Homo-oligomer: A and B are copies of this chain.
Amino acid sequence: MLALVRGKTLAAAGQSLGVSYTTVARRIQTIEETMGLQLFERLADGYRPTAAAMAMAEHAARMETEQHALMRRLQGEDQRLTGPLVITAPQLLIGPYIAPVLRHYAETHPDVDLILRATNDLLDLSRREADLALRISGSPGDSPRIKGRKVCAQETASFASLAYAERLDPQLTVDWIVYEGHPHVPRKALERAPSSRVRYVFDDMVAIIGAAQAGLGVARLPLFLGRSSPGLVQVPLLPPQPYADIWVLAHEDVWPSAKVKAFRDMLVPALRARRGEFVA
């Protein structure tokens, strides 16, 4: 019901429920027959909810919230080290930093199934899209009831390919490769190289690194990324400066669960031990 109102089509609703769209259609039909009222208008391009369906969806959403709260609570009290553990982390941190921890964790707790979601989006920890999140974020208190622990500070600097760095002249025009979210030349860089300009705007960090490695220009990158990217060298256009910190986050209900706590206890020291890779 709720899924159908949200998804607009039987197929979408079915997928979100993990059942076939046929089943969704039959369930709706059953409900309509039982209640003796029409919930959806059958249109050529999908089901359109009636007012009654909207009302039902509204209540169903509240019930769903309640359901999520229950699941979180049960999970938080779960002291077993078995079953699934869903972790989300920025794509670029996973390989070099998370993977070793995953390996250690899997060996120590062989009955836990580790599920990793590589994403920079803030998955909804309240909806249990993930149990534990590693995030690069200035504000860990994104939403109420999310608990967080600062792992490490982080700094950025300017990087370019070796060839580009060698012929770099602050007096001439400097080409910048920037992230879509901040499509400007860093202010401090303008002071040192006034004729800097944005030449490339990318929506993907890997692509930015690739472009910098190809010698297209200068990119502002987190220290750990620039240093670990082959062919890139730090250029003195931008002094190392504070960037968003690294945090581990979890819903406060889920935070105390054994699986989550054990992962934290492994992840945080592992990252802190390599603090030098994140700050100058």
On whether A74 and B35 interact (CB within 8 A), knowing A59-B66, A66-B59, A66-B63, the answer reads yes
Asked whether, in the complex, the Cβ of B77 is within 8 Å of the Cβ of A52, the reply is yes
The minimal Cβ–Cβ distance linking A131 to chain B, given in whole angstroms, is 15
Which chain A residues (66-117) contact chain B, with CB distance < 8 Å? 66-67, 69-70, 73-74, 77-78, 80, 82-83
Q: Is A42 an interface residue (CB 8 A)?
A: no
Asked whether, in the complex, the Cβ of B83 is within 8 Å of the Cβ of A70, the reply is no
Taking a contact as CB atoms closer than 8 A, the residue among B36, B63, B78 that contacts A82 in the complex is B36
Copies of this polypeptide in the complex: 2
Please give me the 8 A-B residue pairs with the lowest Cβ-Cβ distance, nearest first: A59-B70, A63-B63, A63-B66, A62-B66, A59-B66, A55-B73, A52-B74, A56-B70
CB<8 Å pairs between A and B, sample of 14: A36-B80, A36-B82, A36-B83, A51-B77, A52-B74, A52-B77, A55-B70, A55-B73, A56-B70, A56-B74, A60-B70, A62-B66, A63-B66, A66-B66
